[in-house]
Amino acid sequence: MEKGEGTRQRLRFPEGTRAITFISTLVLLVAIYFWARPGYQHGTNSHFVGPATCAEQCHKKQGESWAKTRMAQSFNALRPGVYAKEKESVGMDPEADYTQDEECLPCHTTGYGMVGGFVSFEETPEMAGVTCEACHGAGGMYVKTVMDADDPTFKTEQAREAGLVYPPTAQICLRCHNEDSPFIDTEYEFDFTARVARGTHEHYQLKYEHEN
């Protein structure tokens, strides 16, 4: 091309470059989406110790009472054929297996996706269901540190500062009892007092009073 002709010389890319660039960009955008999207927040950032630790070391009666509640058995609701009529009424397949469904597991297990939390029923059966730490916070923050069975003279406020959630509030429950559940509609009103009375363990008198 001679100078002064007023035409521009186009750059030529190797064949297939555009396709590779498009695919790379698409993969990058998908990765950014999954990294940035809001996920389920459990509300605690430490490791979980499991309900047996709570029951065997300090709260045996509470543990036995909890084991009889619907919260303790909530994982079973994900199994095929369980609560079939209820599932069918909201458009769910009553014969489907939801025990590995990532949308269901955060509220039917404890600590899903977190250190020491639920992985699968085969690996971590003790974390299936709504256990102690789902309401009281991950025990790794306060068990055997502030709260020690060998020295029960600790104060509740010290445990709270370490991460114990006591007493649990309605906000803890509303992480799951909300409109994200297929069984809850826009007119649903969560009755915290009623739920505590019929859904949690018996609240026995503690052997030691830990108040300041």
- Express each pLDDT in 38-84 by its tens digit: 333 444 456 999 999 999 888 999 999 999 999 999 999 999 999 99
22 pLDDT band (50/70/90 cuts)?
low
- SS3 category, 7: coil
187 pLDDT band (50/70/90 cuts)?
confident
- Structural domain range at position 120: 51-199
Q: Which amino acid is at 88?
A: E
CATH assignment at residue 55: 1.10.1130.10
CA dist 45 and 60 (Å) reads: 26
Instruction: Write down the pTM of the prediction.
Output: 0.75
- SS3 category, 19: helix
CB 184 within 8 A of CB 177: yes
Which tokens sit at 113?
């996706």
- Express each pLDDT in 7-19 by its tens digit: 455 555 555 566 6
81 is a domain residue:
yes
Least confident of 11-15, 96-100, 112-116, 176-180: 11-15
Terminal Cα-to-Cα distance of the chain (whole angstroms): 90
13 is a domain residue:
no
Which tokens sit at 204?
């026995």
122 is a domain residue:
yes
143 is a domain residue:
yes
55 is a domain residue:
yes
Total residue length of the chain: 212
The predicted model gives 155-164 an average pLDDT of 92
With the C-alpha atoms ordered 125, 68, 58, 147, is the resulting torsion angle positive or negative?
positive
- Total tally of structural domains belonging to the chain: 1
DSSP string, 115-137: TTS---TTT-GGGBSS-HHHHH-
8 is a domain residue:
no
162 is a domain residue:
yes
CA dist 163 and 143 (Å) reads: 10
24 is a domain residue:
no
Helices in 38-116 by DSSP H: which ranges? 51-57, 60-66, 84-89, 105-108
CA dist 210 and 212 (Å) reads: 7
